[in-house]
């Protein structure tokens, strides 16, 4: 019997059915349409098993088999009732002549369990996003009626929708779990890296802070230091007709040594001279030693007297 004949038979059955049968058929159809919502949180194997339970109770079957192929090429999802190591014999015989997808619903008569005959209806699935096969069997000679055919198609379609949705949710869950695992590993690596570099960063920050304070102190000291005269005005001795600058430059000393001699003659210590001239203590000591050697003195008082005598420092205002 082809699909058009089955549809016409179902319509005639509904027209000739009693009011109670019509209400029961409509109730069954409404229940089938609600199946995807009932299976939304179930795994694909649970949905396939639930589909066979619904078909058994609604169509009064003797046997049922469902196969949903894996779109990714993995092993198909298979289940059957009555449960056991293998599917019922009449369904195994029908599986040996597995119809191609898209061939439509067909019903055949095969040898059943015992001496009786079984009517086996095959419904291939050929949806864009789901393929498979559903087989149902019953001993009733009128199986399947037109109404039963309608119910079978609706139930299998709803089961295929639910299985497809469940598989998609499983894939999304696995992808989300994998992404979260990668994120956790990245966060752990960043945490370990932060723990490793934190002491170094703290040390660098402390050194930069100390360096900035040191620069600020040096700038303050430089801006507040007294200026050293570029040339020391010598004292103009009484009765001397030679200019003071000429007498100072006539000394056997360098300009820097003259400056050191002038500061020394004013009573400044070596450390004070070094601070004013921005020299090290050792450099000031070398200059003083050189001055002593060049002017022929051995102590500070003699050097002071030499500076006054040669006009390196002034005794008072001009």
The tens digit of pLDDT for each residue in 74-113 reads 899 999 999 889 998 888 888 887 666 666 889 998 887 7
For residue 70, say if its preceding peptide bond is cis, omega within 30 degrees of 0: no
**143 shares a domain with 29:** yes
Q: What is the torsion angle, in degrees rounded to the nearest 10, for the CA atoms of residue 24, residue 27, residue 32 and residue 38?
A: -130
Number of independent structural domains in the chain? 2
Domain assignment of residue 179, yes or no: no
End residue of a domain, out of 113, 140, 166 = 166
End residue of a domain, out of 166, 189, 217 = 166
Is residue 149 very low, low, confident or very high in pLDDT (cuts 50, 70, 90)? very high
- Given the structure tokens 């058009």, which residue do they identify? 4
Q: Which residues pair with 78 in a beta bridge?
A: 67
Domain assignment of residue 238, yes or no: no
**11 shares a domain with 118:** yes
Q: CATH number of the domain at 45, please.
A: 3.30.450.40
Distance between CA 271 and CA 282 in Å, rounded? 10
SS3 at position 117: strand
Q: What is the torsion angle, in degrees rounded to the nearest 10, for the CA atoms of residue 137, residue 139, residue 140 and residue 142?
A: 50
pLDDT for position 230: 41
- Given the structure tokens 């098993």, which residue do they identify? 49
**133 shares a domain with 18:** yes
Its sign, for the CA torsion 209, 212, 214, 217, is negative
Its sign, for the CA torsion 30, 77, 70, 94, is negative
pLDDT for position 315: 59
**116 shares a domain with 28:** yes
- Is residue 66 pLDDT above 90, yes or no? yes
SS3 at position 122: strand
Q: At what angle do helices 44-59 and 146-224 cross, to 10 degrees?
A: 160
Distance between CA 273 and CA 277 in Å, rounded? 6
CB atoms within 10 A of CB 121: 23
Domain assignment of residue 183, yes or no: no
User: What's the token pair of residue 22?
Assistant: 């019509």
pLDDT for position 52: 94
Average pLDDT over residues 200-221: 75
pTM above 0.75, yes or no: no
- Is residue 189 pLDDT above 70, yes or no? yes
Q: Comparing C-alpha atoms, which of 167, 172, 176 is closest to residue 72?
A: 167
Domain assignment of residue 139, yes or no: yes
pLDDT for position 31: 83
- The predicted-structure confidence for 16-25, as pLDDT tens digits, reads as follows 556 776 788 7
**65 shares a domain with 157:** yes
Q: Comparing C-alpha atoms, which of 51, 55, 83 is closest to residue 67?
A: 51
**301 shares a domain with 154:** no
Greater confidence, 260 or 22?
A: 260
Average pLDDT over residues 50-63: 92
What's the mean per-residue pLDDT of the chain?
81
Domain assignment of residue 103, yes or no: yes
pLDDT for position 213: 74
**157 shares a domain with 24:** yes
Q: Which stretch, 12-21, 129-138, 192-201, 228-237, has highest mean pLDDT?
A: 129-138
**265 shares a domain with 129:** no
Domain assignment of residue 231, yes or no: no
Q: Which residues pair with 132 in a beta bridge?
A: 68, 125
Average pLDDT over residues 138-144: 91
Its sign, for the CA torsion 42, 98, 121, 119, is negative
Distance between CA 102 and CA 227 in Å, rounded? 105
Is residue 257 very low, low, confident or very high in pLDDT (cuts 50, 70, 90)? very high
**127 shares a domain with 258:** no
Distance between CA 218 and CA 223 in Å, rounded? 9
Give the strand order in the sheet containing 130-138.
77-81, 63-68, 130-138, 117-127, 106-111
Q: CATH number of the domain at 272, please.
A: 1.10.10.10
**122 shares a domain with 9:** yes
pLDDT for position 28: 81
SS3 at position 181: helix
Average pLDDT over residues 248-263: 84
Least confident segment among 81-85, 138-142, 169-173, 244-248: 244-248
| Enclosing domain of residue 250 | 244-309
119 Cβ neighbours under 8 A, 6+ residues apart: 107, 108, 109, 137, 138, 139, 140, 141, 143, 144
End residue of a domain, out of 116, 146, 166 = 166
**162 shares a domain with 22:** yes
Q: Comparing C-alpha atoms, which of 225, 226, 296 is closest to residue 261?
A: 296
Domain assignment of residue 171, yes or no: no
Domain assignment of residue 106, yes or no: yes
**251 shares a domain with 146:** no
């Amino acid at each position: 019997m082809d699909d058009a004949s089955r549809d016409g038979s179902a319509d005639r059955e509904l027209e000739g059915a009693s009011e109670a049968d019509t209400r029961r058929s409509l109730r069954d159809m409404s229940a089938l349409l609600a199946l995807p919502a009932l299976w939304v949180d179930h795994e694909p194997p649970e949905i396939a098993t639930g589909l066979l339970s619904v078909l058994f109770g609604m169509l009064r079957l003797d046997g049922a088999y469902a196969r949903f192929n894996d779109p990714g090429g993995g092993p198909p999802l298979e289940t059957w009732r009555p449960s056991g190591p293998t599917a019922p014999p009449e369904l195994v015989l029908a599986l040996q002549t597995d119809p191609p997808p898209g061939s439509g619903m067909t019903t055949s008569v095969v040898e059943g369990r015992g001496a009786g005959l079984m009517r086996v209806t095959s419904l291939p699935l050929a949806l864009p996003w789901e393929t498979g096969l559903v087989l149902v069997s019953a001993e009733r000679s009128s199986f399947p009626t037109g109404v039963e055919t309608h119910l079978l198609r609706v139930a299998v379609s709803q089961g295929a929708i639910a299985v497809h949705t469940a598989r998609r949710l499983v894939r999304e869950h696995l992808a989300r779990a994998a992404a979260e695992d990668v994120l956790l590993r990245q966060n752990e690596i960043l945490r370990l890296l932060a723990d490793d570099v934190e002491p170094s960063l703290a040390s660098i920050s402390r050194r930069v802070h100390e360096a900035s304070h040191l620069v600020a102190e040096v700038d303050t000291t430089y801006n507040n230091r007294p200026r050293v005269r570029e040339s020391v005005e010598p004292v103009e001795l009484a009765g001397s007709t030679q200019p003071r600058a000429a007498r100072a430059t006539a000394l056997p000393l360098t300009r820097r040594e003259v400056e050191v001699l002038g500061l020394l003659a004013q009573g400044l210590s070596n450390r004070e001279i070094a601070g004013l001239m921005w020299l090290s203590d050792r450099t000031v000591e070398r200059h003083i030693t050189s001055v002593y050697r060049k002017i022929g003195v051995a102590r500070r008082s003699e050097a002071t007297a030499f500076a006054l005598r040669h006009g390196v420092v002034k005794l008072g205002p001009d």
